[in-house]
Structure 1
Amino acid sequence: MKHTEQRVGVFVDVQNMYYSAKNLYGSKVNFANILESGVASRKLIRAIAYVIRANNPEEQKFFEALSLQGFEVKMKNLQIFGSGMKKGDWDVGIAMDTIRMSNKLDVIILVSGDGDYEPLIEYLQNHGHYVEVMAF
């Protein structure tokens, strides 16, 4: 149950949400709306957007827009292997941040459709935290 005194942390897997919106709906994500509807009149303690930097010209403007919307932006570089395979994810980083910050939060909002977070959600719930998931 939501109430105005709850301390909320929002953790956004930007790549997961971006590609989910693009592939499922052919559209873009409004991250400001996600933050506003997730927090919903409660006390926002921290909002972090986790991004992968691929060094394309438009991404810096996007990262700045996230920051202006109230997100702390954490970046990792896209890894490109000799085989041409590309990898960039924040799963472990997001998990570690939520666990580290959990003692300052009543509600943890995880914005991702990645099923790999299920053990994290279970851990947080077992330690007395209310976890909300926002995804497509």
Structure 2
Amino acid sequence: MKKIALFADVQNLYYTVRQAHGCHFNYAALWADVSREGEIVEAVAYAIDRGDSKQQQFQ
């Protein structure tokens, strides 16, 4: 079984999905899809606080 490390840039996911598709990114679906490809041994999300209350709820 493949070992997988997953790294996510939260700001890019949040704003790209919101602006391009008008919805929210589904992390559970991403996790399920990636898990089918192998064992996730590490997952890291990168984010900064931009003072956006909707983004804070998302995080």
TM-score bracket, shorter-length normalisation: 0.7 to 0.9
Distance 1:17 1:57, change over 3 A: closer
Structure 1 segments unaligned to the other structure (5+ residues): 64-136
TM-score by length of 2: 0.77
The number of residue pairs the alignment matches comes to: 58
Give the aligned partner of residue 36 of structure 2: 40
Give the aligned partner of residue 9 of structure 1: 5
Distance 1:57 1:21, change over 3 A: closer
The percentage of aligned residue pairs carrying the same residue is: 26
Q: Secondary structure at the match of 2:44?
A: strand
Runs of 4+ in 1 over 4 A off after TM superposition: none
TM-score by length of 1: 0.38
Return the letter of the residue paired with 2:44.
I
Larger radius of gyration: 1
- CA contact 2:2–2:37 (8 Å) conserved in 1: no
Structure 2 segments unaligned to the other structure (5+ residues): none
1:77-92 superposed matches below 5 A: none
Across the aligned residues of Structure 1 and Structure 2, the Cα RMSD in angstroms comes to 1.8
> Whose relative contact order is higher, 1 or 2, with alpha carbons under 8 Å and at least 6 apart?
2
1:1-136 superposed matches below 5 A: 5-40=1-36, 42-57=38-53, 59=56, 61-63=57-59
Q: Secondary structure at the match of 1:52?
A: coil
